[in-house]
Structure 1
């Protein structure tokens, strides 16, 4: 089925690409989860939170068996309209809207937009799974400081990655005990262990605390001792992948952050202007950190 999807996609994408929503991330070349949820969503939220007294509310929607409940007639009508150039690009994800909405403004505007979304789902025979639909409110105003129960950092993410990494290191040790060595053992590490512990690293590499970084590095050193060869630290892997992602963004003219990156370009050199950062949480996020690395490498 994966092979068939790729074959169909190669023919389908050119037909619908001109009608795609600019924030369509699925089935797009060189764009993935990192770009959608973590880089774009975090960048948009953190830049807004740079303003004093600002808040962010994000709604993550989940549908109950979306592709099983949507009516083929509705999907056919949308694709037919698209072929005539009359369809709204917002619905070009095979008839499904975006899974998350970020709204800045007063409460009435926010609730009105949510109600419009719920009405749209009803008209298109889509049922929202209330149990898995979540709302995230980010508010750093002093008057609600006493209500804050969780820190907005990457500690929970680090805990999950370390736990997953330890469980997969056990499999690596077992393979070595069975006599598996050399390139085959390294391939297993890259595909099973490293893919888990470095998941989304372009988003959190510059933002985690020194304590969490040391925990991740200990995990890498244990893997290195099992393999019997040196492995790059979390910082080295993170910097390399951030630079690769930044290069990809600069070369992808259809990426939602392209306008932001274009505004940072310098007309006199290959350097990028550093984004204006007021709060530490934005200064340590992906885009400012990647720009610092980019300029540092160009200065050498």
Structure 2
């Protein structure tokens, strides 16, 4: 909490650049239009200056840059430098437990959570061998395995492929056989959490996504978001 207060005035001045902070993890997101990177690079420079003035050191070895560009022939961009150190360009990176790829596909993230969840099934089997009551087995599954499968599920599930969803659901079915009782499907969990998230957004005018929820004249339902691409549509 003290560190968050200490870094509270570290903000972005340009509306096209967002600065996200979570404890000591800082991420800059820049929207580059018409090839003009000046605002983005200036904010990166200002971040380095702010750290220097406030006795904090940026770890350039742990700093990476990822470019998301869906044009057929994206131009080659000059490398980003921080304090005379070149920042490595990567195709994916791990952001607060979620692996984000530059093509905005979720194969790498789903590979990671499936592997982690399958490893934790071992402990569920061991508890079953010790004749732990079914209700406690369900609680263990919910806390230790389902929590892994549902990490940031509202972000990636809508864009996941059918084969990836089948892989995830197989883990749930394995847990069902071990425990001996039906468990919520990932589709059910996703739908429930998306509705809760949407409800929170509609009640919070300060939320950046609040404007996309527009009531129909009846006042009972919301208008569907207007999108031009399947990728954009799936993000809702």
Same fold (TM > 0.5):
yes
1:276 aligns with 2:203: no
C-alpha separation in 2, matches of 1:124 and 1:20: 11
The residue matched to 1:118 in structure 2 has which SS? Answer: helix
Unaligned runs of 5+ in 2: 77-89, 92-101
Tell me how far 1:221 sits from its aligned partner: 0.4
List per-residue Cα deviations over 1:132-177 (Å, max 9, x = no partner).
222121011111399x976430111110111011011110000000
Tell me how far 1:257 sits from its aligned partner: 2.4
Counterparts in 2 of 1:248 and 1:58: CA distance versus 1, 3 Å: closer
Q: Are the counterparts in 1 of residues 11 and 19 from structure 2 also a CA contact under 8 Å? A: no
Q: Are the counterparts in 2 of residues 154 and 204 from structure 1 also a CA contact under 8 Å? A: yes
2:73 to 139, 143, 159: 143
C-alpha separation in 2, matches of 1:108 and 1:197: 39
1:194 to 146, 165, 175: 146
List per-residue Cα deviations over 1:50-75 (Å, max 9, x = no partner).
xxxxxx99888899xx6xxxxxxxxx
Tell me how far 1:278 sits from its aligned partner: 0.9
Bigger strand fraction: 2
The aligned runs of 1:144-293 (5 Å cut-off) are 144=74, 151-261=103-213, 264-285=214-235, 287=236
Tell me how far 1:20 sits from its aligned partner: 9.4
- With CA pairs under 8 Å and 6+ residues apart, which has the higher RCO, 1 or 2? 1
C-alpha separation in 1, matches of 2:224 and 2:75: 31
C-alpha separation in 2, matches of 1:196 and 1:178: 24
1:99 aligns with 2:26: yes
List per-residue Cα deviations over 1:97-131 (Å, max 9, x = no partner).
x8222222312222122112211111111111112
Match of 1:80 in 2: none
Tell me how far 1:205 sits from its aligned partner: 1.7
Superposition CA RMSD, Å? 3.4
Q: Are the counterparts in 2 of residues 166 and 219 from structure 1 also a CA contact under 8 Å? A: yes
Q: Are the counterparts in 2 of residues 60 and 135 from structure 1 also a CA contact under 8 Å? A: no
Bigger helix fraction: 1
Match of 1:29 in 2: none
TM-score, L = length of structure 2: 0.75
TM-score, L = length of structure 1: 0.60
Tell me how far 1:260 sits from its aligned partner: 3.6
The residue matched to 1:144 in structure 2 has which SS? Answer: coil
